[in-house]
Amino acid sequence: MPQRQTRPDGRPRRLWYAEGTALAAAAAAGVGHLVAGLVSPESSPVLAVGSTVIDATPTPVKEWAVAQFGTADKPILIGSVAIGALLLAGGIGLVARTRRTLGLALLGTLAFTSVGAALLRPTSTAVDLIPGFATALFGVLAAGWFLGLLDQWGARDRDPAAGADAGATASGDGRSDRRRVLFAAAGLGAVAATGSTLGKALSRGASPSGVTLPAAAEALPTLPGGLESTVRGISAFRTPNAQFYRIDTALVIPRVSTDGWSLTIDGDVERPFTITYDELLAMPMVERDITLTCVSNEVGGPYIGAARWLGVRTKDLLERAGVRPGADQILSHSTEGMTISTPVQALTDDREALVAVGMNGEPLPNRHGFPARLVTPGLYGFVGATKWLTRMEATTYAAKRAYWTERDWATDAPILTQSRIDTPRGLDRRDAGQVMIGGVAWAQQRGIAQVEVRVDDGPWQVATLGPDAGIDYWRQWYLAWDAAPGRHSLSVRATDLTGELQPEGRTTPFPEGARGWHTIVVTID
Ligand SMILES: Nc1nc2c(c(=O)[nH]1)N[C@H]1C(S)=C(S)[C@@H](COP(=O)(O)O)O[C@H]1N2
Ligand SMILES: [Mo]
């Protein structure tokens, strides 16, 4: 019998050790992901390492990633962590070929980095260590088993008689050894796929069920119909929850149950207190139309949404606790360990910031912070919109620093006046004749006075504004344009109600939000 027969694809046997170990690692990660789905989604090995990478990434690199990949940055990060781990496992497999104990020990160590990462999470508990341990245990056992099968196959390859005494069940020829290896590989692949799929299903950020929100004590009139019924392609006046942008550092959407949840107001206060979800709902509820904006939004970018929020005034909560005179910062904490700093002033003045529990007539979706979040009119989300809120700590800016502050973002970040062209889209082609130019403009806490549009080097033309839902809400706008064939550039700029004109010069989103006019180019045929 020719010796080469058992070598599939003529590949060197060493590669099998690398691939087998990587496969065992993938299966182990799948098992860890499944276990995490059952006990604690954020502690899934790959995700725990990913979260640690996010927190450790310098701000400029993070900004670059957001600019390059947008909200795909998370899948790309997770993919990179997974590929890196598989490559390392492959390398370890080569070591394990000749030095089995060392190789398996290295593999166990690799898995244990995820235990370390889970431990580093700001809110980790003992339960978060279980998925990493499961990964390490399964990985070492599976790799040991699979590499044993390879040894057996290889031994027979060198000496066809040797396989017979490699184990009690080892029988038959090299072909059956090979079949056994392939079955084992398929099995490990199936474990990897099943584990990650089931784990994902278990940890999906579904909408909370079984929650009924009270009516607002001060209900708002129904929001007027927006321009979206007449201007095709313009942002809806109210952003549906399912289309609302999502920005946070969480790799798994936290699923917080109202049962164990509570909100604590403490720190530099006279009367610290903790309330349950039901107690929060029993407080006077108000409704507010507020447009939320992310500081990372580029000029013309998508990280903005407008909703009707239902909640309790932060002012009421903080007055009940009695913030001591020296405190200038409320450091809010989320269930997954995020810290966000907001000026006491912004949470107690008459802008009426909210601890929101409802969004557009529904309980907050999990991805937007269920059971409760902060919504502060006029401030970018990273300094006023804490999701999965659980604690508001009165303190000073001198004493404590929040997550983004430590990463050099602005401490005080009021939303800058901005305007965006929604339709036509950049690089669109349209037929000559009437083209509707439309979009949104916002200047939370100041309000929009006027929006102007310029075609090429022409004069600024005043656009027609859509309905008004208050200074904290965006305004839709449109201008009918008689478009002539050719390439044209369209620009927009807004003026706020204080008379301030949106500046032309572009700035980067870091550290306090992007400035500049939104300009697009379209072709008219
Ligand atoms: N717990 C938590 N809350 C958070 C964040 C976060 O990373 N974690 N990101 C903030 C940022 S940067 C923004 S812009 C808003 C976005 O809220 P949304 O995802 O509901 O649109 O949430 C804020 N609240
Ligand atoms: Mo943000």
- Fold adopted by 418-524: Immunoglobulin-like (2.60.40)
Q: Where are the domains of the chain?
A: 14-203, 227-407, 418-524
Check residue 165 and give its pLDDT: 45
Nearest alpha carbon, ligand 1 atom 16: 247
Check residue 159 and give its pLDDT: 63
Ligand 1 lined by 254 (C-beta under 6 Å): no
Pairing of strands 354-359, 304-313: antiparallel
What DSSP string runs through 302-363?
S-EEEEEEEEEEHHHHHHHHTB-TT--EEEEEETTS-EEEEEHHHHHSTT--EEEEEETTEE
Residues whose CB falls within 8 Å of the CB of residue 162, separated by 6 or more in sequence, listed in order:
155, 156
Distance 493 CA to ligand 1 centre (A): 27
Across 168-182, 218-232, 307-321, least confident range: 168-182
First to last CA, the chain: 73
Q: How many CA atoms lie within 13 A of 201 on its CB side?
A: 6
Question: For residues 78 and 322, which has the higher predicted lDDT (pLDDT)?
Answer: 322
What DSSP string runs through 373-433?
EEE-TTB-GGGT--SSEEEEEEE-TTT---HHHHTT--SS-BPPPEEEEEESPTT-EE-SE
Ligand 1 lined by 381 (C-beta under 6 Å): yes
In this prediction, residue 211 has a pLDDT band, given cuts at 50, 70 and 90, of confident
3-state SS, residue 498: coil
Could you give the CA distance from residue 329 to residue 342 in angstroms, rounded to a whole number? 6
3-state SS, residue 176: helix
Measured from the Cα of 404, ligand 1's closest atom is: 12
Check residue 412 and give its pLDDT: 87
Ligand closest in space to the Cα of 514 = 2
Distance 382 CA to ligand 1 centre (A): 6
- Residue 206 confidence (pLDDT) above 70: no
Q: What is the DSSP letter of 189?
A: H
Check residue 169 and give its pLDDT: 46
Nearest alpha carbon, ligand 1 atom 13: 381
Check residue 10 and give its pLDDT: 46
Question: For residues 286 and 155, which has the higher predicted lDDT (pLDDT)?
Answer: 286
Kindly report, residue by residue over 361-373, the tens digit of the pLDDT: 999 999 999 999 9
Ligand 1 lined by 409 (C-beta under 6 Å): no
3-state SS, residue 214: coil
CATH topology match: 227-407 vs 418-524: no
Nearest alpha carbon, ligand 1 atom 2: 387
Check residue 63 and give its pLDDT: 81
- Residue 125 confidence (pLDDT) above 90: no
Ligand closest in space to the Cα of 305 = 1
Report the greatest alpha carbon distance in the chain: 92
Ligand 1 lined by 74 (C-beta under 6 Å): no
- Residue 234 confidence (pLDDT) above 60: yes
Ligand 1 lined by 241 (C-beta under 6 Å): no
Contact between 289 and 223 (Cβ < 8 Å): yes
What mean pLDDT is predicted for residues 107-134?
88
Residue to substitute in 247, 261, 296 for testing ligand 1 pocket (most ligand atoms within 8 angstroms of CB) = 247
Residues whose CB falls within 8 Å of the CB of residue 126, separated by 6 or more in sequence, listed in order:
none
Measured from the Cα of 336, ligand 1's closest atom is: 1
pTM of structure: 0.81
In this prediction, residue 158 has a pLDDT band, given cuts at 50, 70 and 90, of low
Check residue 252 and give its pLDDT: 84
For 151, the token pair is 């040894």
Could you give the CA distance from residue 32 to residue 138 in angstroms, rounded to a whole number? 9
Distance 367 CA to ligand 1 centre (A): 9
3-state SS, residue 134: helix
Ligand closest in space to the Cα of 302 = 1
Ligand 1 lined by 339 (C-beta under 6 Å): no
Kindly report, residue by residue over 440-495, the tens digit of the pLDDT: 999 999 999 999 999 999 999 999 999 999 999 999 999 999 999 999 999 999 99
Measured from the Cα of 248, ligand 1's closest atom is: 7
Kindly report, residue by residue over 379-410, the tens digit of the pLDDT: 999 999 999 999 999 999 999 999 999 999 99
Ligand 1 lined by 294 (C-beta under 6 Å): yes
Ligand 1 lined by 138 (C-beta under 6 Å): no
Check residue 1 and give its pLDDT: 38
What DSSP string runs through 13-27?
HHHHHHHHHHHHHHH
Nearest alpha carbon, ligand 1 atom 24: 386
Rounded to the nearest integer, the mean pLDDT of the chain is 91
pLDDT above 70 as % of the chain: 93
Kindly report, residue by residue over 172-185, the tens digit of the pLDDT: 577 788 889 999 99
- Residue 170 confidence (pLDDT) above 60: no
227-407, superfamily in CATH? Oxidoreductase, molybdopterin-binding domain (3.90.420.10)
In this prediction, residue 61 has a pLDDT band, given cuts at 50, 70 and 90, of confident
Distance 373 CA to ligand 1 centre (A): 9
CA angle 342–347–353, rounded 5-degree value = 110
